[in-house]
Amino acid sequence: MKLTVEEKRARHAAYMREYCEKNREKIRAQKRAQRAANNEAYRAYARAWRLANPGKVYGDVQKHLAQARQWKKDNPEKSKEYKRRDYQKHKSKRLAAGRAYYKNNKEKLAKQQKEWYNKNRERIIKKQKEDRMARLEFHRERSRRSRVEKRAYHAFHSTKKSAKNLGVEFDLTVEWYQWKYDRGSCEMSGLPFDMGTKRGPNSPSVDRKDPKGPYTKENCRMILWFINRAMMDLGEEYCMKVFRGIVAHPRVTFEEGDQEG
């Protein structure tokens, strides 16, 4: 049976595809060797063509780009693998080039980033909110860990802000807070702190011995939050009087028969 021209072309194209697939590395090696051997000639030809055709582009670029996009769409796994291999092969070179470009164009990149952010601000904020809602539990757990691990840092800045608002002296440090936390117990009652919660009855709380005095190391102590709260509402003198009374007074229980009437 005699084949038509179209059938011959189709058969030849299928054969070439099969051959290229089987001998991909061999063909690439041959092309690399040919390019290396004639590199200067290729560059000279390209320069001459660009000088002779200013403003023109060699070949149908849009057609090639469309073909490349279609191939990536049809072969997503192969495309990812090629990208990964190419990145690993030229990783150090690309990183060095990226760092050099960033170093030489800091102001330009910062300006572009700012312009892009201002242009897409609403979309970025919306995406961040959606992402936060989708990962709410993750963010809650991360916030809890941050409060526990960086408790001294957060408490320091919170107290510093309070001192500024009150207009009093402040000389506490993050190291002072951490030292007090590491001791692990209330300076008034000796009871251990509960470091697992943000604020609870046994959470540590900084207290000024003189309520109207400054936030200084001489005037501050670390006590239980509920003691600090009670003294804030009722005063230290009254609270100490009640605490001494509780300790000194025997615990008495009343039976029904002891009630009068």
210 and 133 together in one domain: no
123-180 confidence digits (pLDDT tens): 999 998 888 888 887 777 777 777 667 888 888 988 899 899 989 999 999 899 889 8
Tell the burial category of 249 from Cβ atoms under 10 Å away from its Cβ (0-12, 13-18, 19+).
exposed
Please report the beta strands in the chain, taking only residues with DSSP state E, as ranges in sequence order. Answer: 204-208, 220-224
132 and 212 together in one domain: no
> How many CA atoms, within 13 angstroms, populate the side-chain half-sphere of residue 180?
25
Residue 230 falls inside a structural domain: yes
Residue 105 falls inside a structural domain: no
183-224 confidence digits (pLDDT tens): 888 888 888 888 877 778 888 888 888 888 899 989 899 988
Number of independent structural domains in the chain? 2
CATH at residue 188: 3.30.40.220
Residue 30 falls inside a structural domain: no
Range of the domain at 141: 115-149
- Residue 54 confidence class, pLDDT cut points 50, 70, 90: confident
220 and 141 together in one domain: no
The answer for residues whose C-beta is within 8 angstroms of residue 184's C-beta and 6 or more apart is: 192, 193, 195
pLDDT at residue 261, rounded to an integer: 43
pLDDT at residue 253, rounded to an integer: 57
> Crossing angle of helices 24-37/39-52, nearest 10°?
70
The answer for residues whose C-beta is within 8 angstroms of residue 139's C-beta and 6 or more apart is: 132
pLDDT at residue 95, rounded to an integer: 92
pLDDT at residue 111, rounded to an integer: 93
